[in-house]
Chains A and B, each alone.
Chain A
Amino acid sequence: MRILVIEDDNATADYIAKGFLQDGQVVDIARNGRDGMFLALNEPFDVVITDRMLPGADGLAIIRAMRGSNIATPVLMLTALGEVERRVEGLEAGADDYLPKPFAFSELRARVRALARRPPPAAMADTMLLAGDIRMDLLARIVTRGARVVELLPTEWRLLEYMLRHKGQVLTRTMLLEKVWDFAFDPTTNVVDVHVSRLRRKLEGPGEKPVIRTLRGAGYALDSGA
């Protein structure tokens, strides 16, 4: 995977690059907006990570330029703490995800992987999501595991749908809160854990193989071939 990091703070840029290099990825770093814009428009990348505030061209301008040139490369935008309200602005400009600084590297890695492996747009029109013997029929609104029908509440449905669309990937609590609940904050109660464990109980009947893995300190993952 080839990743472009556009970040004017050297320490942050190096921290991100080091993490992905250890992960076995190829990382290009641009330390100002102009270089970042040039690279993003002229080189092929799997994911672009850009800061919002940059000298030269800012993150929003880079994303707009990319989308204007029909470059669909997923973009994750980094922003200063407390700018949660700006999230909409970034997403409207064409960013695919948004992460406030400071962040844990594991969070960034999970999000970048989710972006890079995002199914192509055509697959979004799928009417059937599969993972092993779990089938979600989006038209009939039925979930089955093997021959067994699994009854889900709306929230559990949204949770499973999101996990199926990102099967095999690490999904952090923050990602789940944002994508499933639309929570741009971290509730004090263990909302995510409660719902994942309820979903797990419904999916994993007696004698059935576990399908949702808990990754300590990182999040959850749905086994792709369960």
Chain B
Amino acid sequence: MPRSFAWRMAAAAAAAMLLVSLATGAWVWWQAEASLRSQLDRALAAEAESLLRDLEPYGMQGLAEQVELTRRRRGPVLALLQAPGGQIIAGAMPAAPPFLRGYATLEAPGRSLRALGLVLPGGVNLIVAGDLATVEQSAAALARSPPIAALVAAAFALLLGLLAARRLEVRLAQSGAAARAIMDGDLTRRLPGNPEGDEFDRLGATINLLLGRIEALVAAQRQVTDDIAHDLRTPLSHLRQRLEAAAAAPRTDPALIEAAIGDLDAVLASFAALLRIARVESGAGRAGFAAVDLSALASMMAETYGAVAEEAGRALEAHIAPGVVVQGDAALLRQALANLLDNAMLHGAGVVRLKLSHGGALMVADDGPGIPQGERDAVLRRFHRLQAAQGRPGSGLGLALVAATARMHGARLVLGGEQGLEVRLEF
């Protein structure tokens, strides 16, 4: 199995669990041992007291009988009665010292005893003792349970870690396969994921957004290249034909040369417009956004194009709400609005209406033939021109720039109008 994060985490958790449980076990043992020892001490004291209770009524003889009885019972408590010289009067106890006063631990072969010695009148020595082995056994039993529980838990943790590692491996392998497919050129591939899923799904969703953006950028780039290849070829061929004609002419014809320069300028203008659209679509200029007084901008355009309309025997009606400010690129917004007004003048008819609402909706409308429903999306693409517009000035890039500018500004671009065309830019 390759190195795995989940597996390593599980192993670390298991090791930590074992370590902690060992420490806990040691502590439990120490506590239990101390507590059980003092319990044993209290039990010995109680035992001695109960033996001495017989001393009052029955004398030393009675006590000796009780001690003898205790020995015969073979219970957990041992008792011994010794004369001052150390001679045993009654009872039995291994490794008993000849005299004991107070508590002591006796080391007999094979066992440890806790003993309490009392001195009775006449120098007689009573010793009661209990086996320490029971204390040790109980403490060990108590201390053993945490490590055993931890061992079981650690095994489970390792098992879970193994399963998690397996599962992660599978999920990451799917993402890796998708990434490799994308690197191989399939930009439409996305990472697998469930929209309501866990953190991996959420990360996948974010990466998918990123991939979508990259795909769109690459597509835009490709589109520009294709557009240049397809749509600049025609004017360039015309230019070539003109130059050939000029070369073949017996004398230099200034008109031919001028026409050629005109062709070339048109190509250059298209080229510049394409680059501009591409740059706008890449969103590169968004860093330079500033507050733009859309009302002032629209008023200026209304005045400028009002004159153009009047000279053409038409009219421009402007209704501009004051004080509308948006975040944006003034130069691009000016050009977008100019493109719309240019279109209304060149392809539209009747009164041109320019409206800016308080809510920030900018509208340009005219009473011309409009754009057929089916072509309203297509005209936003580069170089798309309506059949009716063939032969009129224009590059077919005007609305594409408007669309790109709208997208860059997060504005909604709506092409509408029952009669004529109505273009709305909603900020």
Whether A155 contacts B307 by the Cβ 8 Å rule is yes
A69 on the B face (CB < 8 A): no
Establish whether residues B303 and A153, one from each chain, have CB atoms under 8 Å apart when the complex forms.
yes
Q: Which of B268, B275, B303, B393 is A154 in contact with, Cβ under 8 Å? A: B303
Q: How far, in whole Å, are A88 and B276 apart by their CA atoms in the complex?
A: 15
**A82-B272 in contact (CB<8A):** yes
* Chain A neighbourhood of B8, CB < 8 A: none
Asked if A81 and B272 sit within 8 Å, CB to CB, the answer is yes
Mask for A73-98, Cβ within 8 A of B = 1, else 0?
Answer: 00000000110110010000000000
**Inside 8 A of A19's CB, which chain B residues have their CB?**
none
B364 interface residue, CB < 8 Å from A?
no
A183 touches B307 (CB 8 A): no
A168, CB-defined interface residue at 8 Å: no
A38 located at the interface, meaning its Cβ lies under 8 Å from any Cβ of chain B in the complex: no
Is there contact, CB below 8 Å, between B303 and A183? Answer: no
Q: Which of A155, A189, A194 contacts B342 (CB 8 A)?
A: A189
Complex Cα–Cα for A187 and B395 (A): 11
Q: A155-B304, A183-B334, A189-B346 are in contact. Are A84 and B398 (CB under 8 A)?
A: no
B196 to chain A, nearest CB (A): 42
Return A88 CB to nearest CB of chain B, in Å.
8
How close is A15's CB to chain B, nearest CB, in angstroms? Answer: 14
Q: Indicate whether A188 sits within 8 Å of B307 (C-beta atoms), given known contacts A82-B276, A85-B285.
A: no
Q: Are the C-beta atoms of A84 and B304 separated by less than 8 Å?
A: no
Q: Is the C-beta of B202 less than 8 angstroms from some C-beta in chain A? A: no
> Using Cβ atoms and an 8 Å threshold, which residues of chain A touch B285?
85
Q: Say yes or no: A181 contacts B304, CB within 8 Å.
A: yes
- Whether the pair B276, A84 counts as a contact (CB closer than 8 A) is yes
User: By the criterion CB–CB under 8 Å, are A102 and B268 in contact?
Assistant: yes
- Interface size (A, Cβ < 8 Å)? 26
How many B residues are at the interface, by size bracket?
20 to 34
Report Cα–Cα, A91/B272, bound state, in Å: 20
Determine if A84 and B338 form an interchain contact, defined as CB atoms under 8 angstroms apart.
no
Q: Is B187 an interface residue (CB 8 A)?
A: no
B261: A residues at CB distance < 8 A? 104
> Once the chains bind, are B335 and A183 in contact (CB under 8 Å)?
yes
Closest-by-CB residue of A relative to B311 is A194
- Interfacial chain A residues near B276, Cβ < 8 Å: 82, 84, 185
- Closest B residue to A82 using CB positions: B275
Q: Does B213 contact A (CB under 8 A)?
A: no
CB distance from B401 to the nearest CB of A (A): 9
B residues 390-423 with Cβ under 8 Å of A? 393-394, 398
**CB closest chain-A residue, reference B303:** A155
Q: Does A61 contact B (CB under 8 A)?
A: no
CB nearest to B395 among chain A residues: A188
Complexed CA–CA distance, A76 and B272 (Å): 20
Question: Which residues of A from 147 to 181 have beta carbons under 8 Å from B?
Answer: 153-155, 181
Q: Do A185 and B338 touch (CB < 8 A)?
A: yes
Minimum CB distance partner of A101 in chain B = B268
- Tell which of A155, A182, A195 touches B331, judged by Cβ atoms closer than 8 Å: A182
Q: How far is the CA of A190 from the CA of B273 in the complex (A)?
A: 18
Chain B residues contacting A185 (CB-CB under 8 Å) are: 273, 276, 335, 338
Q: Which residues of the partner chain B approach A183 to less than 8 Å between Cβ atoms?
A: 334-335, 338
Question: B308 on the interface (CB 8 Å rule)?
Answer: yes
B334, A82: Cβ atoms closer than 8 Å: no
Smallest Cβ distance from A191 to chain B, in angstroms?
6
Cross-chain contact B300 with A155 (CB below 8 angstroms): yes
A186 at the binding interface (Cβ < 8 Å) = yes
**B269 in the interface, Cβ–Cβ < 8 Å?**
yes
- Give Cα A84–Cα B335 distance, bound, in whole angstroms: 12
A47 to B303, CA, bound (A): 36
Which residues of chain A are near B284, meaning CB under 8 Å?
A: 85
Quick one: which of A78-126 are within 8 Å of B by CB? Answer: 81-82, 84-85, 88, 100, 102, 104
- The B270-327 residues at the A interface (CB cut-off 8 A) are 271-273, 275-276, 279, 284-285, 288, 300, 303-305, 307-308, 311
Please measure, in the bound complex, the distance between the C-alpha atom of A84 and the C-alpha atom of B329, giving whole angstroms: 13
Instruction: Kindly state whether residue A198 has any CB partner on chain B within 8 Å.
Output: yes
Give, as a whole number of angstroms, the nearest-CB distance from A207 to chain B: 24
Does B90 sit within 8 A of A, measured CB to CB?
Answer: no
CA distance A69 to B261 in the complex (A): 41
**A184 within 8 A of partner (CB):** yes
Find chain B residues with CB under 8 A from A155 CB. 300, 303-304, 307
The CA of A198 and the CA of B35, in the complex, are separated in Å by 111
Cβ contacts under 8 Å, A81 to chain B: 268, 271-272, 275
B345: interface (CB < 8 Å):
yes
Instruction: State in angstroms the CA–CA spacing of A153 and B346 once bound together.
Output: 24
Asked if A198 and B307 make an inter-chain contact with CB atoms under 8 angstroms apart, the answer reads: yes
- Measured CB to CB, the nearest residue on chain B to A158 is B300
> Which single member of A100, A102, A187, A194 contacts B307 (CB below 8 Å)?
A194
9 smallest CB-CB distances across A and B, nearest first, come from: A82-B275, A188-B342, A194-B311, A194-B308, A189-B345, A187-B338, A185-B335, A189-B308, A189-B342
Measuring CB to CB, which residues of chain B are less than 8 angstroms from any residue of chain A?
A: 261, 268-269, 271-273, 275-276, 279, 284-285, 288, 300, 303-305, 307-308, 311, 330-331, 334-335, 338-339, 341-342, 345-346, 393-394, 398
> Apart from A181-B300, A194-B308, what 12 extra A-B contacts exist at CB < 8 Å?
A81-B271, A82-B275, A82-B279, A85-B284, A155-B303, A183-B334, A185-B273, A187-B338, A187-B342, A188-B345, A188-B398, A189-B308
**18 A-B contacts, Cβ less than 8 Å apart?**
A81-B268, A81-B275, A82-B276, A88-B288, A154-B303, A155-B304, A155-B307, A181-B304, A182-B334, A184-B331, A185-B335, A185-B338, A186-B269, A188-B393, A189-B308, A189-B341, A189-B346, A198-B307
